[in-house]
Chains A and B, each alone.
Chain A
Amino acid sequence: MSLRDTGRQVRLRRTGRVPSDARVRHYDELDDDEQGVVRELAGEPWTAPETGDLGDGDVVKFTEYYLVRSR
């Protein structure tokens, strides 16, 4: 398990443009917990506890490109 208690919350914001310096990962590269967060938050205005290696500024390719914001 990669759950970690950082006290931070993540959300996913759909993004149409991927910066050249972004760390981009495909859904298939994520572990089970990270995939669960992506499924839960993609396209939704919700937050979830930060998990695994998903960090602020990362971009995830799922059905769209999503920018990870962590606060």
Chain B
Amino acid sequence: MSDSYVIVGDGIAGASAAETLREEAPDAEITVLTDEGESLYNRILIKEYAKGKLPEAPISIHQEDWYDEHDVDLRLNTVVVDIDVENDAVHTHEGETFEYDSLLLAIGGTPQQLPVENADADGIHHFWTFQDARNIKESVEGAEKGVIVGAGLLGIDFAAICGAQDVEAKYLMRGDNWWRYALSEEGAEIMHEAMRERGVEPVFDSGVDRFEVDDDGHVEAAVDPNGERYECDFAGVAIGLNFNTELVEDTPLEIDDGIVVDEFMRTNVDNVYAAGDITSFNDLILGEQAKNGSWGSAKEQGTIAARNMVEYGSEAFEWVSSYSITHFDFPFLSFGHPTLGDDSVEATTAESEWRRVALKDGKVVGGVLIGDLSPQSAFKQLMREGRDVSDQKDRLMEPGFSVDDLAAPTEQ
């Protein structure tokens, strides 16, 4: 009798796991359950669709016939409501039961809503799925004034969408610069200026106290905690994700800011694995539990999870992630864990070129590059090697930096 694998989630983590399982276990029964109405699409590119820069077709990655060709049973619009790890079964809203030998949870997250008045009004958008992108595109194309909330990597997509769609927007930020946990004012100002050039004005020490709506329930203004009122007929909110752990709260699975897994993507239940945004994983490079929401990380986690579902211990997840912003005429890239560490070094290396590297115990754990991405491979290599650079960290800031520029490592 062949093994049966059930995967909950058809994002890149779940889909890459399905693909790997089919390669590693040709005779296995593989079922993918997703609450979405469409199969795997390119989540990185949906912002380009919302900007009006890309048609729909290239965003689809797996047509439904891909699942037929790979003998994968895909169930769209299927909401899992219960996971019974004692009896190796998942139950759906429609009353179906899927039994498994091994289960993968790639259930991701859901955008957080602002806890303020009228936060669910028409015209206020969150951005996670392809359907969100379609709704945003339709809404923003008819808008004149926008408000954006959430000074992070997802919020800036809304700024780019407003800029591309000629919507005059105010970007309300709680602190005094964009992504203040990873960038100093000097680095952030490069991003602020790029926003301004596209008609998006950063507003600092602000935020949203409440939204105001018209008689039809459509957003017409955001009021910040200082009492300033910003008219808008479009609002984009990107303040973070709620990880979809409620599905496993009544199970023995360990939860700590996500589903806790080891470096093999296995949970504390032997035949249950998790991958993608939902995981709190043992980061072998960082040396502690970590989270990561990047596309590459999720894809790799899905692949690694699948290999270990077939043979536990066969391959560990050891990955330096990166995430780029390509909305402007210069590139931006964050890598590793730029908001962590106990030390950092930063520099403006040329006009509109800035970098910052975060260190922990003298080792590189992450960073941000603006303008010049050429050192990204060198910094990732240092992370993988766990090399102590505390006595020569200024060299990391030199233009054209490569690992060869560092003094040879000493015995550690």
Contact = CB atoms under 8 A, between A and B. Distances in A.
Partners in one complex: yes
A28 B58 contact: no
B295 A63 contact: no
Nearest to A22: B58
A71 interface: no
Contact of B54 (A18, A21, A36): A18
Contacts of A22: 58
Contacts of B42: 24, 26, 29
A44 interface: no
Interface residues of A, number: 19
Contacts of A20: 55-58
A33 B44 CA distance: 20
B51 to A, nearest CB: 11
B54 A27 contact: no
Q: Which 9 A-B pairs have the closest CB atoms?
A: A24-B58, A20-B57, A26-B44, A20-B55, A27-B324, A28-B324, A63-B326, A62-B326, A63-B331
B84 to A, nearest CB: 36
A32 B377 contact: yes
Interface in A38-71: 39, 59, 61-63, 65
Contacts of A65: 53
Interface in B133-156: none
B330 A28 contact: no
A29 B321 CA distance: 11
18 contacts: A20-B55, A20-B57, A21-B57, A21-B58, A24-B42, A24-B59, A26-B44, A26-B295, A26-B324, A27-B324, A27-B326, A28-B44, A28-B294, A28-B323, A35-B376, A62-B326, A63-B328, A63-B331
Nearest to A20: B57
Given A21-B57, A26-B42, A63-B331, 5 more contacts: A20-B58, A24-B58, A26-B326, A28-B44, A63-B330
Contact of B44 (A18, A29, A62): A29
Nearest to B295: A28
Contacts of B131: none
Contact of A63 (B45, B54, B57, B329): B329
Contacts of A28: 44, 294-296, 322-324
- Of the candidates A21, A22, A26, A35, the one having the most CB atoms from chain B within 10 angstroms of its own CB is A26
- Of the candidates B44, B54, B58, B377, the one having the most CB atoms from chain A within 10 angstroms of its own CB is B58
B375 to A, nearest CB: 11
Interface of B: 42, 44-45, 48, 53-59, 294-296, 322-324, 326, 328-331, 373-374, 376-377, 380
A58 B366 CA distance: 31
Contacts of B331: 27, 39, 62-63
A18 B376 CA distance: 28
Contact of A26 (B45, B328, B373): B45
Contact of A18 (B55, B294, B326, B329): B55
Contacts of B377: 32, 36
B58 A23 contact: yes
Contacts of A18: 53-55, 58
A61 B55 contact: no
Given A29-B44, A39-B374, A62-B331, A24 B326 contact: no
A58 to B, nearest CB: 10
Contact of B326 (A21, A36, A61): A61
Contact of A61 (B48, B322, B323, B374): B48
A18 B324 CA distance: 21
B267 to A, nearest CB: 27
A32 B377 CA distance: 7
Contact of B45 (A24, A35, A39): A24
A32 B44 CA distance: 17
